[in-house]
Homo-oligomer: A and B are copies of this chain.
Amino acid sequence: MATVEDFTSQYGLVRKIDAFGYLDYLKNNPDAPRKHGKVVLVTADTPLKASRGEGKTTTTIALIDALRKRGIDATAVLRQPSMGITAAGSKGGASGGGKASLTHPELIDWGLCGEMGAIEAAQNLLVSFAEKAIDDGKLDTVLVPRVSEVPSRSLRSVAVDYGKGDVPEKMVLTPTCELMQIVVLSRSMDEIGERVSAMIAGTLDGKPVTFGEFIDLWRITNILADAVKPALTETSKGTPVYVHGGPFANVSIGIPTLVSVELACALHDVVVVEAGYGADAGAQKWLDIASREYGAQWPSAALVVTRATTWRDDPARQWRYPFHVNRLEKLGIPTFPLVNLWDGEDDQIPALRETAAELGFREPIIGNLFRDGGDGLTGQIDDFVTALEAVGVPSNPESRKGEDIVDTVRWIAANAYGVPAERVVFKPGFEESLNAARELVAGVGRDLNDFAVCAVKSPATMTDDDAAAAEERTVTLKKVEVRAGSGIAQVNLTKSLTTPMPKIV
């Protein structure tokens, strides 16, 4: 009888697990010992500014440390931070902080075991193969963007073969690319191969051509051999933490890999999955893409993190936090408000509890988790544990596959952003973009209505103007871009700008 140890290797200070192999082993050995962990989402309020976190990772780490102290076998699955963004100084890292820390945050923040670099190389190699296909007369346009892990504003718009072909291109951040989505959503290397095959490389005489028609797939899968293995590290208190898959739920799916969560569920009883930025981005994508369309487990409970200031200091946007909490409750997910205090805010606790009571919330969990870590939570999670123990592993909701894709966007706007269908409006050019997308996927024998919708928007807004009165809020649809390999239709929406390749600050 094998154990997960047989699928685990040391990689410096972390361990990596052949999740594909282990999950396959469990499938073929139904009597092998395994757990059936429940998924808990840690998500957040919509941040007031795009790059500021409310403390989701800090909360996640404090929570699993607190659960473990109570004897519950808990773990967390985190996304690998974008090293480029951290290194550029645009963000402080994404590995918790203070007493809610990982043992080796520097590893997680600074490139882990080269996973992102491998995905970057593989996606860029696809572009090189597409260029070669142009030379060979198999393509005349390339539709796959190059990627860079390091942000650089001037790469948003580039011309390659400058001075001769002057071919306009754009470059996007590695974590947001289609190949990252494929790695996040696939359950085997064969599935990765099939999905890469199905990616639309470009067009020839206006007709789409997939990579499967001209590349050696093994060249891509060889590059990804180690990148598909989740990393295992631990908190400073010794609680195991898995790290795998790319961030940025604003412009991509931004969730951990499905296999890392499934691996964790086979090994632990409670699996905390970080889903950010806000609930409108990360949680929406976990629920409506991962669970609904790709078979990921529906959460058994959720925590929605906010800061005292985010919740209350912008009256026009105060509606967002209760909206998120209530939306998740309405989906049948026991949802706990969590206020992550900063230094000097302890005296606000009574007022925060009062506000939560007025809003009809469950009793909020409040603590300075940077300062106190899991100890700040231990006395406050009885209700959470009770709620979690009460539910069975939930079944997944119905897929929307086959529904008209614009109806799906309207349905997301109504449910996740609070904007009814009649106030979802089309920007000039949207319909052309939609029709072009429909035609492109029809050209490879597929139907756009079978694609999952991934909203592409600013992390700081859900509607065209979150500060507008409720009955005036709108959602503008701007553009559709298809990713036939990951099966995702990227729909740009709201009037805010997205930044798939930010300036460094």
Contact = CB atoms under 8 A, between A and B. Distances in A.
A127 interface: yes
A129 to B, nearest CB: 7
Given A87-B125, A131-B154, A154-B161, A9 B16 contact: no
Contacts of A151: 128
B131 A83 contact: no
Q: Which of A116, A128, A131 has the most CB of B within 10 A?
A: A128
A219 B90 CA distance: 12
Given A160-B158, A222-B106, A150 B125 contact: yes
A274 to B, nearest CB: 23
Nearest to A124: B150
A403 to B, nearest CB: 38
Contact of A150 (B84, B128, B161): B128
Interface stretch (A163-171, A421-429, A438-446, A469-477): A163-171
Contact of A148 (B124, B156, B165): B124
B149 A127 contact: no
Contact of A504 (B122, B129, B164, B225): B129
A121 B131 contact: no
A380 to B, nearest CB: 36
Given A151-B128, A158-B159, A223 B87 contact: yes
Residue among A16, A162, A505 with most chain B CB within 10 A: A162
Interface residues of A, number: 61
Contacts of A156: 161
A101 to B, nearest CB: 17
A191 interface: no
A118 B128 contact: no
Interface string A39-81: 0000000000000000000000000000000000000000000
Given A9-B12, A84-B125, 13 more contacts: A10-B10, A106-B222, A117-B117, A124-B149, A127-B152, A129-B504, A131-B153, A132-B503, A132-B504, A154-B161, A154-B165, A157-B161, A159-B166
Interface of A: 9-13, 16, 83-84, 87-89, 106, 110-111, 113-118, 120-122, 124-125, 127-129, 131-132, 135, 148-168, 216, 219, 222-223, 225-226, 503-505
